[in-house]
Amino acid sequence: MYTLPTVEDTHAFGRRLAGILRAGDLVVLSGPLGAGKTAMAQGVGAGLDVRGSVTSPTFVIARVHQPDRAGGVPMVHVDAYRFGTLADPRAEIDDLDLDASVEDSVTLVEWGEGMVEQLADSHLEVRIDRRDDDTRVVELIGHGGDWPVRVEKLDG
Ligand SMILES: Nc1ncnc2c1ncn2[C@@H]1O[C@H](COP(=O)(O)OP(=O)(O)OP(=O)(O)O)[C@@H](O)[C@H]1O
Ligand SMILES: [Mg+2]
């Protein structure tokens, strides 16, 4: 559990998180409205060195940010509010026919509370919560694959 007092701390945490991410990853950002999911995605985007400003994909379902350096990976940023509930967002996102495939990208999905449980495939859950004093707390929960090991690497 990490405490993030300001939005800058959330950005910094996202940049650090980017260090353990690689192509094919699915990262689910969960938390209530205004928790800081998009702010976290901005930090990850900065850490991955992707182009374009990372904003709330409210009027589009998903947006691709191409890497700005050789050997970089694209970041696919999705707002799942538009999706409703899905067991396999990866397949759904590939069906959108974006200019990137999820297996070659890092995919970040902003997901509402209580929507993560039905996710079947391996993924990293980044659970952000808002405290009464307006600070945020974040918890990383690795589901399947080598996520537990990678989460430990970040924690250590
Ligand atoms: N520690 C913090 N981390 C993140 N955001 C913070 C923090 N403190 C304050 N904020 C503010 O809270 C708001 C969070 O907005 P953001 O769009 O990132 O949330 P969200 O979870 O993506 O919301 P939505 O559910 O609408 O997609 C921003 O205005 C941001 O500046
Ligand atoms: Mg958002």
Q: So what's the pLDDT on residue 155?
A: 76
Section 123-144 average pLDDT: 95
Place of tokens 């067991």: 87
Whether residue 113 has pLDDT greater than 70: no
Query: Is 55 exposed, middle or buried (CB count within 10 Å of its CB: 0-12, 13-18, 19+)?
Result: exposed
Is the Cβ–Cβ distance between 10 and 39 less than 8 Å? yes
User: For a pLDDT cut of 70, what percent of the chain falls above it?
Assistant: 89
State if residue 36 touches ligand 1 by the CB under 6 angstroms criterion: yes
Residues with a beta carbon under 5 angstroms from ion ligand 2: 37-38, 56, 110
Q: What are the pLDDT digits (tens) for 51-95?
A: 999 998 666 688 999 999 999 999 999 887 766 666 777 787 778
Regarding beta strands 136-143 and 123-130, do their DSSP bridges make them parallel or antiparallel, or are they unpaired? antiparallel
